[in-house]
Structure 1
Amino acid sequence: MKETKKELSPAQRTELLTILKTRFEKHKNRHQEIVWADVQARLESDPEKLWVLDDMETTGGEPDVVGYDKKTDEYIFFDCSPESPKGRRSLCYDRKALDARKENKPKDSALDAAKAMGIELLTEEQYRALQQLGEFDTKTSSWLVTPADIRHLGGAIFGDRRYNTVFTYHNGADSYYAARGFRGSLRV
């Protein structure tokens, strides 16, 4: 079976680039030394990454540029929605946790959904860096990449912001809540 190429129509591409540019200009504090024209040129040369950004956008992530990696020559996008993306909530942590649930299974796991989208879950370090750019997850929480030793014991970690402080907590990896989703990162 031949895989369909993931590419937006010209109209969809124009609409997404307009949304991303508007967000980029509105939140200059997230990317002070980055020029939009450079980001746009990179995006226009990589239709599959535009497809991924569109998926991040349509699931409520509000992706925005948060950095540039000089070593790899890549722009870094994170989900910057005020709360955990609405279209990516009520998920357990990973496939192992999903398969272990006998009743009331969620529709998917955060790791599987991220992989299907073509993004990576934020690490705790990335999540804390995001929180330096604004206040995120003041009413929700987001699954984070969990260290193997914690996951081996059945747990997973998530983060949120309460009382003007960023917290990292733990939960069983098979748990899921209406107010917990995941945030992703994409390199372009």
Structure 2
Amino acid sequence: MSNKKVLSQDEKEQLLKVLKARFELNMNRHQGIEWADVQERLEANPEKLWSLQEMERTGGEPDVVAQKDGQFIFYDCAKESPKGRRSVCYDRAALEARKKHKPETSAMDMASEMGIEILTEEQYRELQELGEFDLKTSTWVKTPENIRKLGGAIFCDRRYDTVFVYHNGADSYYGSRGFRGALTV
């Protein structure tokens, strides 16, 4: 991970090439949005490009899913929860509460370091309208404060053609559970 949070010219060109190809392959995710407009906005926001690179590097396969108030919204669109973001507990407090077998980090810490937000339950359901995701994995989602204060956290997945929301101790972590992010550019 770079300390500068800025991509080199070669990294920028490669990332834009990957994002454009994904954009063109998945037009159903962003009808009415033109790639040229997305690219222009990305080039004007190099720190956001760095965050998208981090999403890509960790297996998220980010893509444009909406445009709101002149900004483009990217979600992780990998079929399963991003591989490079699994086996993490929910947040720093949960990580510190573990007495043994601590994971390396937490979902909230990792998202913050990447400059992205963890999907909310509503955003997760919106993503599931664009395709079928997390058929074999699960994804931490932003947990309401009242649940978190009691030690819990929520996660989602898709089984039986239905999106399910579950709960777990925030300090739990599994090899098949990660998190998906959102980035507004």
Question: TM-score by structure 2 length?
Answer: 0.98
Q: Distance in 2 between matches of 1:154 and 1:59?
A: 27
Write the letter of the residue equivalent to 2:180. R
Equivalent in the alignment of 1:102: 99
1:122 Cα deviation from its structure 2 partner: 0.2
- Cα distance in 2 for partners of 1:61, 1:145 equals 17
**Mind listing any 5+ residue stretches in structure 1 that lack a counterpart?**
none
Could you tell me which amino acid in structure 1 is paired with residue 48 of structure 2? K
- Measure how far apart 1:5 and its partner are: 3.2
Matched length? 184
The percentage of counterpart residues that share the same residue type is: 66
Name the structure 1 match of 2:181.
184
Q: Distance in 1 between matches of 2:5 and 2:157?
A: 33
Q: Which amino acid aligns with 2:164?
A: F
Q: CA deviation at 1:6?
A: 1.8
Name the aligned partner's letter for residue 120 of structure 1: E
For 1:9 and 1:124, the matched residues in 2 are separated by 35
Name the residue aligned to 1:23.
Answer: 22
For the residues of structure 1 that align with 2:5 and 2:149, how far apart are their CA atoms? 35
Distance (Å, rounded) in 1 between the aligned partners of 2:93 and 2:11 = 36
Map residues 85-164 of structure 1 onto 2, 5 A cutoff: 85-164=82-161
User: SS where residue 161 of structure 1 aligns?
Assistant: strand
- For 1:171 and 1:6, how far apart are their aligned partners in 2? 33
Give the root-mean-square deviation of aligned CA atoms. Answer: 1.0
User: Which of 76, 79, 82 is the aligned partner of 1:82?
Assistant: 79
- By how many angstroms is 1:7 displaced? 1.3
Q: Distance in 1 between matches of 2:170 and 2:46?
A: 34
Rounded Cα–Cα distance in structure 1 between residues aligned with 2:51 and 2:37: 19
Unaligned segments of structure 2, at least 5 residues: none
CA distance in 2, matches of 1:132, 1:6: 32
Instruction: Measure, in 2, the Cα distance between the counterparts of 1:61 and 1:139.
Output: 15
Q: Which residue of 2 aligns with 1:41?
A: 40
